[in-house]
Structure 1
Amino acid sequence: MKSIKISIPSLIENIKIIESFIDNAKEKFQINDDIYGNIMISVTECVSNAIIHGNQGDAQKTVKLELNFLEDQLKFIIEDEGKGFDFDNLQDPTSPENIEKSGGRGVFIMKNLCDEVKFEEEGKKTVLTFYMN
């Protein structure tokens, strides 16, 4: 298994660092365009959530991103220093009372674009899995 890691201060403008990280991974691991888009959207969404909700935009706190490259899959592990969240009781963003809300779609988007989404450590750690073929 190959692994690369990065750690960023919790500032939303650091998303561009994450985008570069993903672009580098695309080159390094020959990620095809079909899943590249899904990875870019899901991982940047997850990191944004970690910055805004997890670490409350506190630049003293960091968000860690680790990419594990296995034979047939990529695992992105995103970890923040927040309190976690109740991932079992998220509101459905597609239900009528939530459709107009600006927030609340991140996890829904990730679950639709990733092959697997797992929350660990009370939601402070998210594992996004993508199958390579």
Structure 2
Amino acid sequence: MSGFSEKNLILSSTFDQMERIPPFVDELKTWADLEEEDFNRILLTLSEAVNNAIVHGNEQDPDKNTYINVKLNDRTLSISIRDEGDGFDPSDTPDPLKEENLLNEGGRGIYLMEQYADEIQFNDEGREVSVIFYLDD
């Protein structure tokens, strides 16, 4: 597939909405002709980003939404995940690889997203994260 196209998904900020992510990525698999490896890294990254938006950004407030916008331009897949929370400073996130953080229950989501996405950028004071994947041909 060449050229530009996009897809959107809006989730209310309840934890059960996470169940909508795998079928959405399945849809992306067909739409963007994803290889299995790309499918897996996109599923993991999108799940982490949406979980962060629902839990941390919108504090599981069902009156707040999480917005997912996916753009495909040739073999570059760009996904933005936006919440309606107060935002945060990504540089304040503790490094999960430091010894004092190794046993922490949370705090690995952003790190994992950075490992699986080809690029990651935080916008709008942390209320939006954009992740970019360069897809295999």
TM-score range, shorter-chain basis? over 0.9
Determine if the alignment matches structure 1 residue 116 to structure 2 residue 119: yes
Determine if the alignment matches structure 1 residue 44 to structure 2 residue 47: yes
SS in 2 for 1:66: strand
Determine if the alignment matches structure 1 residue 56 to structure 2 residue 59: yes
Deviation track 1:48-102 (CA, whole Å, cap 9, x = no partner) reads 0000000000011000001101112101110000011111221100101100001
Structure 1 runs of 4+ off > 6 angstroms? none
> How many residues align structurally?
133
Query: What amino acid does structure 2 have at the position aligned with 1:126?
Result: V
Looking at structure 2, the residues matched to 69 and 49 of structure 1 have their Cα atoms a distance apart, in angstroms, of 23
Match of 1:65 in 2: 68
Aligned match of 2:27 in 24, 29, 32? 24
Looking at structure 2, the residues matched to 101 and 89 of structure 1 have their Cα atoms a distance apart, in angstroms, of 15
Looking at structure 1, the residues matched to 102 and 38 of structure 2 have their Cα atoms a distance apart, in angstroms, of 27
Q: TM-score, normalised by structure 2?
A: 0.95
Looking at structure 2, the residues matched to 9 and 96 of structure 1 have their Cα atoms a distance apart, in angstroms, of 36
CA RMSD of aligned residues (A): 0.7
How many percent of aligned residue pairs carry the same amino acid? 30
Q: TM-score, normalised by structure 1?
A: 0.97
Match of 1:131 in 2: 134
Aligned match of 1:91 in 94, 113, 123? 94
